[in-house]
Structure 1
Amino acid sequence: MSKHVVIDPITRIEGHLRIEAVIDENNVITEAYSSSTMFRGIETILQGRDPRDCGLLAMRICGVCTGTHYQRSIEAVEHAFDVTIPKNARIVRNLMQGALYLHDHVVHFYHLHALDFVDITKALEADPKKTVEEAQKWAKLSGQRSWKASEDTFIEVQERVTKYVKQGRLGIFGNAYWGSKAYKLTPEQNLIGLYHYLEALELQRKIAKAQAIFGGKNPHPQSIVVGGVTCVQDLKNPARIAEFKDIIQLAQKFIKEAYLPDIYMAGTMYADEALAGIGGGLGNFMSYGDFRLDDLPFYESSKLFPSGIVMNKDLSKVYELDQTKITEDVTHAWYEGNTNLHPYDGVTHPKYTGFAKKENNIAYLDTEGKYSWIKSPLYNDERMEVGPLARMVVGVAKGDERITKYVTTFLKNGNLPTKVLFSTIGRTAARAIESEMMADEIIKWCDELAVNVASGDLSTWTEFDFDKVSKDTQGFGMAEAPRGGLGHWVKIKDGKVENYQAVVPSTWNAAPKDYKGRLGAYEASLIGTPVVNPDEPLEIIRTVHSFDPCIACAVHIVDTNGKELAVYKVDPIGGSCA
């Protein structure tokens, strides 16, 4: 007899996500539905605004990847007005974005995803001496020593967590499926994961500081403007560049000595699932490309991550990206309007129709009708997965030497075949592979900036006359966020925003079915997944977390009765804000 499982909310993510799954008598998932339970209204807020101000508002879409939305919005306006930024501005933007990647990836794996693999309570049973040996074993796979591994360190970590247990609370480690048979790590491996979790808390604070060096603050940096950046004094100061580089080098060390070894460890222990392709999903991958390596306009320049499309896991063929083929479907999303509209013509008119039925005090989604606040994006009428795995897959398929080197080295060190990438474990591994490459590249960019400034080039902004540029125009900013392809599209009429649409990574991945009944990336990844205990569906959470969901990027808030919630008047001259 099948069982209908509801997980709401999916925890350890940004925003509210609901997953419903049907599990058959063999405990295998046969149906899955992904639903965002919040509404995004940022596009409506931006209408009628000065396009130069859009970035500061658009970054409020999310509290995690704020700088990414900021930059994409600015780039959309720069594209509309044909503005090319100076070299220093390009490098600074790369540094800010690169630091965001490292921060996001480290936080994601350790604080949002690792506890899907690591059983905290079992770590208390570990032998500290054997834990040191275990940690060094995995670090040696990549030619490293394990991050600060010592018997005393592991004893101290056990004592700290034991105190929480004796007090009847686990604090940040509370409310999980501890003891589930879906956990496969040994006690010593669990202790390694626990220690690195705690170490990553301190590291993420330092990386956030690096983001603020050139961004002014974190989250929500303020140093990017249409035409360039404003952090002139920071890039002129060698000490500031050196401080940024020191933090990145620390992150680089942690990634090589802790993060990658932990992925080798988890990947080996869950190798059977990876080899079986559990969590593989759609098999269609898309990368917009990102991190400009020259000073051409962003849509023409060579990039660290190449753009492209790979279909059906076929690495022998790559299709070039054409943004005109992107559309959004609202058949199963709580919106009015026509389906399959390009973002330039997109509309965001909410139409909430509620849930379908209520049984045993549980309200179930109307999966035959509308069941999510997230639209369903399509590329050339196909469903796509975006994110680190997509970037690595497209890079390898395109023959990019840099990406291919990092991916093949990882697989060789772990004695793993390429096919393991197409799984939950592979998606998680791709993020770690990308982190190592990103840290190495950021350090090079620091040196590039220092050399360029030392040569006397202090230019940070390209002057343009807003009053003389075309008042009726349009532009897009398309690149990658840590979670995947992110695009902002703006239409400008009489110098004001006429229409604005953002299609974000979690719109691509977390979307519901489309007008043909085809599943979104989350939904497809869950089909065929065996679940040890349907009452403790750890496997569902693990696979969904592997995408690093950020539902806040896709949604905000609405009164479903259409009532006006509040009106705020701000005095821009500096009057009282009481």
Structure 2
Amino acid sequence: MARVVIDPVTRIEGHLRIEVEVEGNTVSDAWSSGTMFRGIEQILRGRDPREAWIWAQRICGVCTTVHALASVRAVEDALGIEVPENATLVRNIIAGTQNVQDHIIHFYHLHALDWVDVTLALKADPAKTSQLAQSISDWPKSSTSYFRGIQDRVKALVSSGQLSLFSSGYWGHPAYKLPPEVNLLAVAHYIEALDVQREFIRVQAVLGGKNPHPQSYLVGGMATAMDGNEPDAVINPERITLLNQLVANAQSFVRQVYMPDVLAIAGFYKDWFQHGQGLGNYMAYGDYTNGNIKDPAGFMFPRGIVLGRDLSTVHPLDPSHVSEYVTHSWYNYAEGDQVAKHPSQGETNPKYSGPKPPYDFLKTDEKYSWVKSPRYDDTPMEVGPLARTLIAYASGNEQVKKIVDDVLGKLSLPPSALCSTMGRIAARALEAEIMVSQLSGWVAQLDDNMAHGNLRIHNGEKWNPDTWPRSCQGFGLHEAPRGSLGHWVEIEDKKIVNYQAVVPSTWNAGPRDAKGQRGAYEAALQGTPMVDPERPLEVLRTVHSFDPCMACAVHVLEAKGNAHLSEALVF
């Protein structure tokens, strides 16, 4: 039995170490370790709750706006503040844009190279690639000369000996299955997606003031002025036209490039609909509504839980049943490390007890990660686009059922096949198509409100701290691109006394709990086939299918080990 270590896992956000035991060229066990300390929660203590979102979104440089949104929702919940419809629409548009952009980046720039051999694109016939592209999509950039130009660019990189963004791949690995022409198609769209995602995220720059880290959130709404007769207003007819154009361009790319590419690649890797099944337990808080965020009945993505891959039943979800263990995490709880604590009572007390680097292996029978172990009713859960898709499908959502059945029909697969490594990839593409369609509707609603003089976008009630109760608690939930995100805040004497964030990659990347139950990564890696343990491409495929964001899960470490980090480090 051999131990294989991947440290760091690249093409993710943050720092992740994966160790697997390999027996007979199959993964028999796995351990997931976040190798960076979590500190943002301490930074928030003692601060004004109205500024919590500014700090919270510095949890990550990629998943920025999702933490801002969960944070303002938590404070609004604690203070009993209702948000105007226009603020909800703007928040939906910003969050939905993040969702689509994130999925495009994940597929092409973080995950595609686990399936695409860039060097084989040099052996492709550009004319055949053109024929293939035109057979699966009406995307205009599909000519022979276009693909020949892409091939020449890749050839120049290879000839230079410096592959630039395509360096450090397992090129030539026997687990790659795509023909040269499909590789060339994917490489061309990899390059094109760089421009698409950069252009599309301008939606956030318009509505949020900047990207990353939008600056227009406010407890009680948004600081995004609306006025159809004011040229200097952030939201005016000219900006609505720009938003519509950006959304339409993204919609074309998702429908004509992203989805066809996923189907094309999945067709050559159908065996990966049988690998990476993992826990089989899926959870979603639900999200996206034009009405009351506290009423799950109006959510576009429904709230619920699926257990044991049983799509016949969606179980109700109560956020009070969420808890976190630190049994195998480098933290201590005052009551002991065998107990689980609800985030409202959560603690972030770091105490590293692992080996000093450099080291060969983790002490996996002890504490081995900076990531905590979230549980729902003491049960590990997988969160993310796959969880949302399965729960919506099992809930009978007609839009989701139609697109899922259509895609699975093209691949001749049952819905249960989504519970897999390749299923996570397909779920992201499905969700991107649903979301990019929804965005145009929210922009239209915003435009209609403005045309009818409905310009209210912030609720100033209770903005004065003198109106607040002496002590209160609240939580804010959001379905971020990577999954279920929750922020919990406790306010006393107008200041934050405790703050906890349980993020998607904490749910998925967490280590074993007090009962020895594995987290989602660890469970999904069991049974993974490996052709060459020296080049663990197959392990990366499953880990990357979750789109890890360890920056969210374990935050930031100050060089001298100071838990109270300076503002310079955060900004």
Name the SS for the 1:478 alignment partner.
strand
Q: CA deviation at 1:146?
A: 3.6
Name the SS for the 2:277 alignment partner.
coil
Alignment match of 1:118 (pick from 92, 116, 119): 116
Alignment match of 2:307 (pick from 307, 311, 329): 311
Q: CA deviation at 1:362?
A: 4.8
Cα distance in 1 for residues equivalent to 2:387 and 2:347: 28
The one-letter code matched in structure 2 to 1:190 is N
Cα distance in 2 for residues equivalent to 1:208 and 1:558: 29
Residue in 2 that maps onto 1:575: none
Is 2:42 aligned against 1:49? Answer: no
Residue in 2 that maps onto 1:129: 127
Report 1:102-181 matches (<5 A).
102-139=100-137, 145-146=138-139, 148-181=141-174
Name the SS for the 1:266 alignment partner.
helix
Root-mean-square deviation over aligned CA pairs: 1.7
Q: CA deviation at 1:566?
A: 6.7
Residue in 2 that maps onto 1:485: 484
Cα distance in 2 for residues equivalent to 1:569 and 1:164: 38
Name the SS for the 2:484 alignment partner.
strand
C-alpha distance 55-301 of structure 1, shift in aligned 2 (>3 A):
farther
C-alpha distance 189-154 of structure 1, shift in aligned 2 (>3 A):
same
Q: CA deviation at 1:136?
A: 2.6
The one-letter code matched in structure 2 to 1:341 is K
Identity across the alignment (%):
49
The one-letter code matched in structure 1 to 2:216 is S
Alignment match of 1:458 (pick from 455, 460, 463): 455
Residue in 2 that maps onto 1:222: 215
Name the SS for the 2:498 alignment partner.
strand
Asked if structure 1 preserves the Cα contact closer than 8 Å seen for 2:101 and 2:200, the reply is yes
Asked if structure 1 preserves the Cα contact closer than 8 Å seen for 2:301 and 2:388, the reply is yes
Residue in 2 that maps onto 1:237: 236
Cα distance in 1 for residues equivalent to 2:461 and 2:556: 36
C-alpha distance 273-529 of structure 1, shift in aligned 2 (>3 A):
same
Deviations along 1:131-170, whole A, 9 cap, x unmatched?
A: 012223333xxxxx14511100000001011111111111
Cα distance in 1 for residues equivalent to 2:558 and 2:249: 46
Cα distance in 2 for residues equivalent to 1:470 and 1:406: 47
Asked if structure 1 preserves the Cα contact closer than 8 Å seen for 2:471 and 2:492, the reply is yes
Alignment match of 2:181 (pick from 183, 188, 198): 188
C-alpha distance 293-566 of structure 1, shift in aligned 2 (>3 A):
closer
Name the SS for the 2:533 alignment partner.
coil
Q: CA deviation at 1:120?
A: 0.2
Residue in 1 that maps onto 2:348: 348
Cα distance in 2 for residues equivalent to 1:380 and 1:428: 28
Report 1:311-390 matches (<5 A).
311-337=307-333, 338=336, 339-355=339-355, 362-390=359-387
Q: CA deviation at 1:413?
A: 3.0
Asked if structure 2 preserves the Cα contact closer than 8 Å seen for 1:5 and 1:22, the reply is yes
Cα distance in 2 for residues equivalent to 1:459 and 1:225: 13
Residue in 2 that maps onto 1:475: 474
Asked if structure 1 preserves the Cα contact closer than 8 Å seen for 2:375 and 2:381, the reply is yes
Deviations along 1:10-44, whole A, 9 cap, x unmatched?
A: 000000000000100x2000010000000111111
Asked if structure 2 preserves the Cα contact closer than 8 Å seen for 1:164 and 1:170, the reply is yes
Between 1:68-77 and 1:362-371, the stretch displaced more is 362-371
Name the SS for the 2:360 alignment partner.
strand
Name the SS for the 1:490 alignment partner.
strand
Deviations along 1:510-568, whole A, 9 cap, x unmatched?
A: 11111111111001010001101101110000110000000000113346985578756
Cα distance in 1 for residues equivalent to 2:68 and 2:218: 9
C-alpha distance 471-548 of structure 1, shift in aligned 2 (>3 A):
same
Residue in 1 that maps onto 2:71: 73
Cα distance in 1 for residues equivalent to 2:566 and 2:519: 36
Asked if structure 1 preserves the Cα contact closer than 8 Å seen for 2:287 and 2:296, the reply is no
Report 1:206-221 matches (<5 A).
206-221=199-214
The one-letter code matched in structure 2 to 1:336 is N
Asked if structure 1 preserves the Cα contact closer than 8 Å seen for 2:473 and 2:490, the reply is yes
Asked if structure 1 preserves the Cα contact closer than 8 Å seen for 2:471 and 2:491, the reply is yes
Q: CA deviation at 1:73?
A: 0.1
Residue in 2 that maps onto 1:142: none
C-alpha distance 459-560 of structure 1, shift in aligned 2 (>3 A):
closer
Name the SS for the 1:304 alignment partner.
coil
Is 2:440 aligned against 1:448? Answer: no
Is 2:415 aligned against 1:418? Answer: yes
Cα distance in 1 for residues equivalent to 2:531 and 2:65: 40
Is 2:280 aligned against 1:287? Answer: no
Cα distance in 1 for residues equivalent to 2:566 and 2:382: 38
Cα distance in 2 for residues equivalent to 1:133 and 1:362: 51
The one-letter code matched in structure 2 to 1:346 is G
Name the SS for the 2:393 alignment partner.
helix
Deviations along 1:432-471, whole A, 9 cap, x unmatched?
A: 0000000111011111111111011000111213321213
Cα distance in 1 for residues equivalent to 2:369 and 2:136: 42
Asked if structure 2 preserves the Cα contact closer than 8 Å seen for 1:147 and 1:258, the reply is no
Q: CA deviation at 1:299?
A: 4.6
Q: CA deviation at 1:266?
A: 1.3
Deviations along 1:279-326, whole A, 9 cap, x unmatched?
A: 1110000001011132x2445561110010000000011111100100
Alignment match of 1:197 (pick from 183, 190, 193): 190
Between 1:163-172 and 1:306-315, the stretch displaced more is 163-172
Cα distance in 1 for residues equivalent to 2:559 and 2:210: 35
Unaligned ranges ≥5, structure 2: 227-232
Deviations along 1:47-104, whole A, 9 cap, x unmatched?
A: 1111001000000001111001001000000011111111111111100001111111
Name the SS for the 2:283 alignment partner.
strand
Between 1:104-113 and 1:298-307, the stretch displaced more is 298-307
Between 1:71-80 and 1:242-251, the stretch displaced more is 242-251
Between 1:204-213 and 1:190-199, the stretch displaced more is 204-213
The one-letter code matched in structure 2 to 1:313 is R
Residue in 1 that maps onto 2:229: none
The one-letter code matched in structure 1 to 2:94 is M
Cα distance in 1 for residues equivalent to 2:563 and 2:436: 46
Cα distance in 2 for residues equivalent to 1:560 and 1:370: 22
Asked if structure 2 preserves the Cα contact closer than 8 Å seen for 1:147 and 1:257, the reply is no
Cα distance in 2 for residues equivalent to 1:434 and 1:23: 34
The one-letter code matched in structure 1 to 2:282 is F
The one-letter code matched in structure 1 to 2:548 is P
Cα distance in 1 for residues equivalent to 2:69 and 2:564: 30
Residue in 2 that maps onto 1:503: 502
Residue in 1 that maps onto 2:511: 512
Asked if structure 2 preserves the Cα contact closer than 8 Å seen for 1:39 and 1:554, the reply is no
C-alpha distance 457-51 of structure 1, shift in aligned 2 (>3 A):
same
Residue in 1 that maps onto 2:268: 269
Q: How many residues align?
A: 557
TM-score, normalising length from structure 2?
Answer: 0.95
Cα distance in 1 for residues equivalent to 2:442 and 2:567: 42
